[in-house]
Amino acid sequence: MTTVFVFNGPNLNLLGVRKPEVYGRTVLPDVEALCREAATGHGLSLDFRQTNHEGVLVDWIHEAGAAVKRGDALGAVLNAAAYTHTSVALHDAIEGAELPTIEVHISNVHGRETFRHHSYVSPVAAGIVVGFGVDGYPLAIDGLVRKTRPLRSV
């Protein structure tokens, strides 16, 4: 079965606790369940991960890119969190691994502090989902499927 990866960056392990007025009260295991349901609906398996370490994200991106090249995976949904705004390394990893990636953010980063308006991920992402809360994750999976699979005739 083809896999979709969902990678989560720093502090997302605190989802539901940290700044609930911005990020909501849903916890990460519930986000994983939303993603599993979306992936299953497309006939995909889900590989859902979270780390607070930039280098780990880079390694996972390389791993996912290799899986796509082997035909074992479709691509990745990435919530790089704060690394979105700081990490050239993530940009270079996505580009170098040729990983189809949908960037996702729970909050509307463009309506927040100015430093959150810039993304190093966006230029190498196939698409971006911003500001839909945790519902953005299944939207991102749907978008990845649409970007990577040819449309079927009815």
CATH number of residue 97's parent domain: 3.40.50.9100
Calpha distance 31→130 (Å, rounded)? 15
Is there a domain that residue 119 lies in? no
In terms of residue numbers, what domain contains 23? 3-77+88-112+126-145
Is there a domain that residue 121 lies in? no
Q: Tell me which of 23, 83, 120, 137 is the catalytic residue.
A: 23
Contacts of 36 (CB under 8 A, 6+ apart): 46, 48
pTM of the shown model: 0.92
Give 23's Cβ-side CA count (13 Å radius).
18
Q: Tell me which of 53, 83, 85, 105 is the catalytic residue.
A: 105
Per-residue confidence (pLDDT) for residue 49, from 0 to 100: 98
Is there a domain that residue 46 lies in? yes
Is position 120 annotated as part of the catalytic site? no
Number of domains in the chain: 1
Is there a domain that residue 55 lies in? yes
Is there a domain that residue 100 lies in? yes
- Chunked into runs of 10 residues, the chain (154 residues) has average pLDDT values of 97 85 81 98 98 98 98 97 95 98 91 81 97 96 92 52
Is there a domain that residue 118 lies in? no
Cα dihedral sign for 28, 34, 40, 44?
negative
Per-residue confidence (pLDDT) for residue 107, from 0 to 100: 84
Is position 118 annotated as part of the catalytic site? no
